[in-house]
Structure 1
């Protein structure tokens, strides 16, 4: 009860004390004027006295009766009060006295269990704003981050003019903090005797003087400021604590004059700017990535760096599309790589960037490296003149696409010239554009460019979109060739062979195996596309010895190569890799072997979709010519008439194909409007979409979605044609063409995956007889001529290991079925023993 009354009565006292100590420990008295300190001190002392007097007046020492009553409240039935009571009635009755004695005994037993209650020190009702917690938090922070020694300065503030000092007399503190980027520690000058001290440039010197102004002074010549005034000229400063800080920028003298003063000679070490140099020639990787080595150094650390690349216009061969003045472009800036670990005082790195898509790729440029240090000082390398590395395209048509892209990005004034070249390139593409998809993409890009030119000057967004399309076309032409695919596969095999010879790490082996798988799959796909263009009457997919090879067998062979390498059997892996290389060089692929060289349902569906694509292309050409006529564009009329009196594009296509865009040989009816012809083409596509061949698969579903998107785009084009909105119709037709191409590609992949799963594709010799053949305990059909085994490929699919595990699990499950015949169980047991 005493603790409770002290807490409730005197909590304002220690709240004010905690707040006052925290303010003094943090040096509040050093920053406020003397007048404010006097006023604040009076208010604090007055509040402290009021709180103390209030607590004293309200405090009452608890009496014994109050203590017993408080204790009695903690017990049920108030037993202590009952023990002090007496029987009021029935004192003459024996029964009443007996009951009363029993009651007193029970209350005495209950009172014997009494325990002192814990004090209730909560004062939230008296301090609703939690001022006590705020003061306590400030006090704890002052203990951790402040200095309680500052409280000793307070008595000096009471003297007029600050002349009264603490009992210890005048004193001072001084320390030096070097810049953080130097990594040097701070120096506490109180522990350093007079002498010479070396400091990095930019170090901050801080001094704190305690006492009267006349007792201590500071003299320094390291800050570069004007000398401090003499004592007689110094302004009157009544504060007893002075804080002085400045930056050391030059060597000089620092002295604290007066009682207990000290003097030092400070030698400021200049901070030299960083240096950077371009070392060696820039190296170009196969994919166009450039690697430029450089070195950088600083007396402490290089903070950051960048490479500045600007066009060397004077060295550019200003011919063809580069003749007009280029559009202004910002300097190309790359951040220089910095070491993640280790010292940055001196290091060598290489800038690795890919500028292949930049308009300045393969053009003369000027390259300069810049680095900065912690003081923002800049170091610059010598300017190097070089040709900005970029990807090289060896296919002439791909190189032409890249040159047109560069001309378009050089200035938008080249847009009409680019359009003319695209028209000329696609006028008679026979023998020039062997990739049908690339041809269609060029046509789409050409129409979009012409449509944009009809509406006015080419916008920046359209320019960038067309530049990206031309880049994709060039990559498709360059990388889409069979010879390139074969070369990439050979390179992947050579890299893997080299890794085997030098004992590469498992991670590198895995990466090279994935690369070989991808290159092999690309080569097989390109080979199939090449044979498809030549016709479907070739032999089946065969190796040199006319043995049929499936994609699963190739995958199994590569899996076996990887397994041998993982087991350390490098010689066997190399031998198998050489066998794979010889087999792939002699590989031939066709569309199938139905006995008569017929295309079958899949081939017919592909041909129908190609015809639909050609029809859509012709319809889009006619819509574009109508748009040119509508706006009276002179170039559009020239494009319709052709060059040198040649037929227009739509006529050219009819002439080169020997038939009209709809493939009938008679042309679409001239009396039908474009919208009606678009609707008829959409209905044809819907029918083809509903009759897609092949078994269900992800690729077949992707083909269906792409064709569905093409149908919706055709529907949008039809609506735009009915509104006579030709630009919108051309855009929708371009989307339809792109989705048709995507659907063709996905359907081709679906049919290619279904091909190995056909039952031999060797005519109808077996027909339904296979269903009547007996099966072994694994569910396999017996081979021909009654031999033991099967003609089926048990490890179909890409994940052969999972398939093998599933087979092994099935064998174990059947071997545990005791209801099966004994002969079958013995056979299953022999299989388990073997595998």
Structure 2
């Protein structure tokens, strides 16, 4: 037993400091819970005084708040003292024991009731080992339940703000409040002073009472505020920093602005003085870091830098015409109409410091009259006080869009001339008429040509400022249309890309423009090669000619383009132009025999419509045959017993011409027992409708005219009828599908008639335009063959125009029937090779 007591006492002695720390933690918890309102009130009072509450509140309010704060603090202090109880050593041991497993401290204080002494000694030893690991717990001073609104944290935050931005010297002003304060003021006057720098500097205000230095450096424009308390006239101020007469009221103090070096001195009892140095606000500086660059799309790119000691708030770029540097020839020889300079806002960073700025002005001035003319660019920056700094004028050519198509460049130049002065309108019209003479040689976009002819007529009339602005916009769109084109033909796109790149190399285009045009050439070449492959698949009997018998693959063409780009990057433009000419000749030789007339003109569109009508007729015939075969099977007759062979030959002939998926749909009709075949026909009807929709989105003859609008409406009706036929085929309703297919064919024929009339009207209109007569000129009777046909193959007039087929059946239907018969016979393997070759040559004409 003696040994057990020694172990217990030794363990408790070793834990004496842990028990004392636990007791101190319990005492801290009780003090915090009892007196937290008291120090919260004291912190709030300190914050109010340090932040100048005595200066902003009337004396009555200040006295009332002071008394209320004192009463509250005293009340909470009394309540805390009455509720405070010191913790006992037993409570400390219980708190420490609760942190240990098995409560070993309580076990050490127990006495043995029963059992052997050896067991008890082992138990005490084990509990002693556990107790040796005891450590004082952290006090729990959380007050969330007692302070649910966190008022203690609010008071602490106010105190920290007052400590950082307030002044402890203001606490002395408490002595001047109330009767006792008045008695204290009788001893001597009191003053207070503040310096408030301008807001844009970002510098904090200064409390002069806390400043012990004799000299101060203040930003220019700082506001000095002095307040005097006590006998009137006891305190005064002398200053030489404002440069203006001082407005001073002895009872209140003075206010003035620091504008120059000098001294501020408070005269009278307890007065002080400071030597003031002024930090001048320097004007901002700005400069262009490079000459303006032209982006590939014609936008101007001008990098610049700007700086200011406190930050730039605004920047502008003023662009004025440099008239002495303009080459006053041709359309620029006349006196220009006055135009205001262009003013652009410079881009500034939204976030971060604006003391040092490196930005780039990016704007599109391609349509402005100053584009591609000598200008002077003046950059200016402004800071918060309103000071401005300007850069040296930058003389340069204002970047604008460059047109590499010769006709587009001529239209853009004519637009520039009429914007220079309205007197150039007649001259611009004459030039445009001259450059559009024999337009079929170089104009690739008929729509742009027609719009240009209208613009020329307007230029020749009376010119007003409103009409001039309208015409400038129209000529700009025409130039873009001629430059970029509305080219549906891959070959035309390829030629246009070659022409633009060749022109860019001759005119010394920028690297970005060369790169863009090079990519355009690559894309056009890829598209053209894909079309060649599709044509070869569609017509295996037609061969693609090569250059001098040399076959070139797509990889070899890409290597040729890579070499061309390498030469241009190295600046070897002469060699690059020779390689470009070789590529041009190669592309001219690599053409498919069929369809060289292009699909972008009105004749190509009409041929596409004719093919669509032919395929719709074939699809309708096949649906009718499927319906007949179903009826024969229901009546017990063998399908194909009557007239099947002739239809089969016709179907075979049509298949030779590559109608999309028709053979597959036919096999589905024969092997699908009705329903499966109808679904195959429905898919083909859907493909045909999609083709018509794509055709309707392209440019058609008579665009914008009444005939052209009527033709598009007819195409829309045909599309809706095809959609109804497709749905009927999917539903297994073949009779209804045949009705909708008939409606589609009738609408297609009507659309072809309207577009043919529109083409004829366009030819008649262009026939009287003088220089432009040969572009799609009319077909005088003297140039037709004895049957009234146009030898050039461009006779698309409808029956209402008095053509050779005006009377009798529909000429378009008759022409399609003849064309279908020619194709059927050309695909007949039983005919001689000479006859089939002749038939193919006939087909090439159509």
Structure 2: give runs of 5+ residues left out of the alignment. 1-25, 458-464, 486-492, 533-541, 610-694, 711-759, 821-846
Which residue of structure 1 aligns with residue 149 of structure 2?
129
Secondary structure of the 1:43 match is helix
In the other structure, the counterpart of 1:485 is 501
**Quick check: 1:171–1:209 contact (8 Å CA) kept in 2?**
yes
Residue 61 of structure 1 is matched in structure 2 by: 86
Give the equivalent residue in structure 2 for 1:612: 605
| Contact 2:498 2:584 survives alignment (8 Å) | no
Q: CA deviation at 1:45?
A: 0.9
For residue 52 of structure 2, the aligned residue among 27, 44, 62 is 27
Measured in 1, the distance between the counterparts of 2:304 and 2:127 equals: 91
1:218 paired with 2:218, answer no
2:480 to 472, 478, 489: 472
Structure 1 residue aligned with 2:446: 439
Residue 64 (structure 2) aligns with: 39
Q: Which whole-Å deviations, capped at 9, do the CAs of 1:725-774 have from their partners, x for residues lacking one?
A: xxxxxxxxxxxxxxxxxxxxxxxxxxxxxxxxxxxxxxxxxxxxxxxxxx
CA separation of 1:466 and 1:44: change in aligned 2, threshold 3 A: farther
1:260-286 CA distance string (max 9 Å, x none) = 434567687987877999999999999
Q: Counterparts of 2:575 and 2:468 in 1: how far apart (Å)?
A: 54
Distance 2:551 2:296 in 1: 35
CA contact (8 A) 1:203 1:248 kept: yes
Q: Tell me whether 1:621 sits opposite 2:627 in the alignment.
A: no
* Aligned equivalents of 1:75, 1:348: Cα separation in 2: 66
Counterpart among 557, 576, 599 of residue 592 in structure 2: 599
Structure-to-structure mapping, 1:509-548, within 5 angstroms? 518=519, 521=522, 540-541=546-547
- In the alignment, is residue 308 of structure 1 matched against residue 321 of structure 2? no
Deviation at 1:120, TM superposition (A): 3.4
Matches within 5 A, 1:93-242: 98=114, 119-158=139-178, 160=180, 162=182, 164=184, 177=197, 190=211, 193=214, 201-205=220-224, 216-220=235-239, 222-223=241-242, 227-229=246-248, 234-235=250-251
Distance 1:348 1:68 in 2: 70
SS in 2 for 1:4: helix
Q: Aligned partners of 1:430 and 1:646: how far apart in 2?
A: 14
Q: Structure 1 residues 269 and 120 mapped into 2: Cα distance closer, same or farther (>3 Å)?
A: closer
| 1:85 to 1:279, Cα distance in 2 relative to 1, 3 A | closer
Tell me if structure 2 keeps the 8 A contact 1:481–1:526. Answer: no
**Structure-to-structure mapping, 1:317-356, within 5 angstroms:** 332-335=342-345, 355-356=365-366
Write out per-residue CA displacement over residues 418-462 of structure 1, whole angstroms, 9 at most, x where no aligned residue: 9999999989732351xx2x3345558999999xxxxxx999999
Q: Is the 8 A contact 1:222 1:249 kept in 2?
A: yes
1:427–1:652: 8 Å Cα contact kept in structure 2? no
Partner of 1:430: helix, strand, or coil? helix
* Contact 2:59/2:178 (<8 A) preserved: no
Aligned residues: 606
Q: Is the 8 Å Cα contact of residues 766 and 777 (structure 2) preserved in structure 1?
A: no
Question: Following the alignment from structure 1 to structure 2, what is the Cα–Cα distance between the partners of residues 299 and 64?
Answer: 67
**Mapped contact 1:409–1:463 kept (Cα < 8 A):** no
CA–CA separation in structure 1 for the residues paired with 2:430 and 2:299: 32
List alignment gaps of at least 5 residues for structure 1: 88-96, 451-456, 497-510, 566-572, 630-636, 688-835
User: Aligned residue for 2:265?
Assistant: 255
Following superposition, the deviation at residue 158 of structure 1 comes to 4.9
Matched, 1:665 2:673: no
Q: Distance in 2 between matches of 1:260 and 1:321?
A: 79
Deviation, 1:481, is: 7.2
The residue aligned with 1:2 is 27
Question: 2: distance between equivalents of 1:214 and 1:252?
Answer: 24
1:396-475 counterparts in 2 under 5 A? Answer: 397-402=407-412, 429-431=439-441, 433=443, 436=444, 438-443=445-450, 469-475=477-483
**Cα contact 1:16–1:135 (8 A) shared by 2:** yes
* 2:555 alignment counterpart: 552
Question: CA, structure 1 residues 622+120, in 2 after alignment: closer, same or farther (shift >3 Å)?
Answer: closer
Distance verdict in 2 for CA 1:138–1:150, change over 3 Å: same
Query: Aligned partners of 1:302, 1:337: CA distance in 2, in Å?
Result: 11
Task: Assess, with a 3 A threshold, how the Cα gap between structure 1 residues 86 and 606 changes in structure 2: closer, same or farther.
Answer: same
- Once the two structures are superposed, residues 117-157 of structure 1 have per-residue CA deviations (whole angstroms, 9 ceiling, x without a partner) of 65433322221112122222333343444444543443443
Q: Is the 8 A contact 1:305 1:371 kept in 2?
A: yes
Residues 297-319 of structure 1: CA deviation (Å, up to 9, x unaligned): 99998764323357999x999x9
- C-alpha contact (below 8 Å) 2:284/2:306 kept by paired residues: yes
- CA drift at 1:552: 2.4
Change (3 A) 1:488 1:185: farther
Q: How does 1:69-88 map to 2 (within 5 A)?
A: none
Q: Could you tell me whether the CA contact under 8 Å between 1:367 and 1:384 is conserved in 2?
A: yes
SS in 2 for 1:164: helix
* 8 Å Cα contact 1:218-1:255 kept in structure 2: yes
Q: CA deviation at 1:49?
A: 0.3
1:689-711 CA distance string (max 9 Å, x none)? xxxxxxxxxxxxxxxxxxxxxxx
Q: Distance in 1 between matches of 2:278 and 2:371?
A: 48
In 2 relative to 1, CA 350–51 (structure 1 residues): closer, same or farther, beyond 3 Å?
Answer: closer
Question: What is the CA distance between 1:471 and its match in structure 2?
Answer: 4.2
Q: Quote the Cα distance in structure 2 between the aligned partners of 1:389 and 1:76.
A: 84
The residue that corresponds to 2:386 in the other structure is 376
Q: Distance in 2 between matches of 1:489 and 1:82?
A: 101
- Displacement of 1:24: 2.6
Task: Quickly say closer, same or farther: Cα 1:431–1:192, change in 2 above 3 A.
Answer: same
Paired with 1:611 and 1:270, the residues of 2 have a C-alpha distance of: 76
State the distance in 2 between where 1:154 and 1:607 align: 94
In structure 2, relative to structure 1, the CA distance for the partners of 1:283 and 1:552 (3 Å cut) is closer
Local SS of the residue matching 2:65: helix
1:23 counterpart SS class: helix
1:201 positional shift: 4.4
Residues 281 and 292 of structure 1 are in contact (CA less than 8 Å); yes or no, is this contact kept in structure 2? yes
Q: Is the 8 A contact 1:176 1:187 kept in 2?
A: no
Deviates more, 1:257-266 or 1:35-44: 257-266
Name the SS for the 1:480 alignment partner. helix
User: What is the Cα deviation at residue 226 of structure 1?
Assistant: 5.1
User: Structure 2: how far apart are the matches of 1:268 and 1:202?
Assistant: 9
> Is the partner of 1:470 in helix, strand or coil?
helix
Conserved? CA contact 2:49–2:171, under 8 Å: yes
8 A Cα contact 2:702 2:762, kept in partner? no
* 1:650-695 deviation line (CA, Å, top 9, x unaligned): 99665499889x97735345499xxxx9x99xx99xx9xxxxxxxx
Compared CA separation, residues 376 and 107, structure 1 to 2 (3 A): same
